[in-house]
Amino acid sequence: MRLNLISKLTLATGVILVVAMTLFAWLRIGSLKRLLMEESVTSADNLSETIVRTTHYQMLDNDLPRVFQMITEAGSQKGIQRIRMISKDGKIVFSTRQDEIGTLVDKKAAACNMCHTGNEPLLNATSMNRSRIFRDGTGKELLGMAKGIYNEPKCWAATCHFHPRSARILGVLDVTLSLEYMNGQLAAYRNKTILQTAILLGLLALSLTFFTMKLVTRPLRQLLSHTKKLAEGDLGSSVMFQSGDELGELATSFNTMTVNLRQARGELEEWAHTLEAKVGERTRELKQMQAQLIRSEKLAAQGELVAGIAHEINNPLTGILVYASLITSDPKLHDDLKPDLEIIVRETQRCAGIVKGLLDFSRETPLQKKPLELQQVLEEALNLVVHQTLFHDIVITRRYAVDIPPVMADHNQIEQVFINLLLNAGQAMTGSGELTVSTGLLSDGASLFAAIGDSGCGIPEEQLVKIFDPFFTTKEQQGTGLGLSVSYGIIANHGGKIGVESIVGKGTTFTVVLPLGGADEKP
């Protein structure tokens, strides 16, 4: 069976108290017994001395009947078992028990041990040495006291006595007392001590149980309950009791630990959310970089293919254009055929323009970098396009950042990129809307951005992944699909990137990012 803490403490303390109080009671009872025994010995010795002194003059007068009468009267007192007078030869001269008068006493008996312990009898002995404790035939405990009757000068000088002067001791007065009264007192004291010990143990057990429950058990139960809540993940609880002892310090430590754990868990949760957001952001960046890498490899492969095709087509187109021009200027040509030849010349020139665009797309033109004010280049591009009919009903909003540093870039190529983006924005708004042009410094402080946004029709999500592919266009009857591809290549050659965000029905925003250092690396 599992014992709780209070039972263990009560049991252990009870055992210790029982052992301690038992030992204390045993020592007290032993001390009391010795004290009572000494008092009994003293009383017996005093009684013996009183009898000897009281009968002294009767003994000098040899008035033995009177002496025996006085001994008999003294022996009738309560607690006196017997009194007897023994001669120096060991003969019982008189006894309160008539049956032993005239008998001899063995010198080896307990009554004689006080003097006859050696070869020669002792003349003097202490009262304790003259006392003895023994039991009679009925089992009663008795105390015997032997007192010597010495031969004093009055005894050997008196005319009535025949004791010689050389005799030192005349006899022994032996007094036997019952120890029943003393043993009864000891038993009563022992029983009283046992009862008091039991009552005291009960009171101590109740007091110990009460104070242990109040000062130890209840606080420990609160600490245990708090620990279980912590194990279950409940960090909002706390230990409520307060105390100035070690348990109070432990409770304060538990509360402090709980607060620290709650803060740590909050920090971990916040860190987990932040990490999740960072992982998601990094994943998107990796996907964008992967898409840009795939797009760059795709553009490079397409550029090589387009360059070969353009060179092959350019030579026949040149011949067609030359001969068509010559025939058109020939006076022998019939007037009805001139419109057809003009169409041939015009379409051939358009094909030549397409071929030139293909060559520009595939050709890596060397960069002529110099410090540029990005806002100034944007303004120049705007001045070239805003006068076109396309922008007459379009509101232009400028949001330029102040005090941004110049960027190292090729003026003509960057301007070409902005023109392409501005024209695409104007065409997306179908003649009316709002064009927003903004610049600024990125939060990393290492790059500038220029954003061109329109309020046009927007681009569907499935088309955004193809927006920078060559020959891809959202315009059904105009455009070759090379403008954004060429722009992408230019920005990539500058070590920057170009991105697009679009919502169908709300508009599109193209963002160009250029490094301040003007790096030539391709992303």
> In this structure, what is the dihedral angle of CA atoms 285, 286, 288, 293, given to the nearest 10 degrees?
140
Q: What is the pLDDT along the chain (523 residues), one digit of tens a residue?
A: 556 666 777 778 878 888 888 888 888 888 888 888 888 888 888 888 888 888 877 777 777 888 888 888 888 888 888 898 888 788 888 888 888 888 888 766 655 555 555 555 555 566 666 778 888 878 888 888 888 887 766 665 555 555 566 666 778 888 888 888 888 888 888 888 888 888 888 888 888 778 777 777 777 777 778 788 777 777 777 777 667 677 777 777 878 888 888 888 888 888 888 888 888 888 888 887 777 677 666 666 666 666 677 667 777 878 887 878 888 777 877 777 778 878 887 878 777 766 766 666 555 567 788 999 999 999 999 988 888 888 888 899 999 998 889 999 988 889 989 988 998 888 888 778 999 999 999 988 889 999 999 998 888 888 877 787 766 666 654 555 667 878 888 888 888 999 999 998 889 999 999 998 755 444 3
Domains in the chain (CATH in brackets) are 5-185 (3.30.450.20), 369-523 (3.30.565.10)
Q: Which residue has the tokens 């997306």?
A: 428
pLDDT at 522: 41
pLDDT at 438: 94
Condensed to tens digits (0 to 9), the pLDDT of residues 14-68 reads 788 888 888 888 888 888 888 888 888 888 888 888 888 888 777 777 778 888 8
- Angle among Cα 364, 369, 374 to the nearest 5 degrees reads 110
pLDDT at 521: 42
- Give the side-chain half-sphere CA count within 13 A for 380: 13
Condensed to tens digits (0 to 9), the pLDDT of residues 278-328 reads 888 888 888 877 776 776 666 666 666 666 776 677 778 788 878 788 887
pLDDT at 406: 92
State the DSSP string of 113-133: TTT-SSSS--S---HHHHEEE
CA–CA separation, 280 and 255 (whole Å): 37
Q: Which residue has the tokens 């008189």?
A: 94
- Angle among Cα 485, 498, 369 to the nearest 5 degrees reads 85
Q: Which residue has the tokens 């996907």?
A: 287
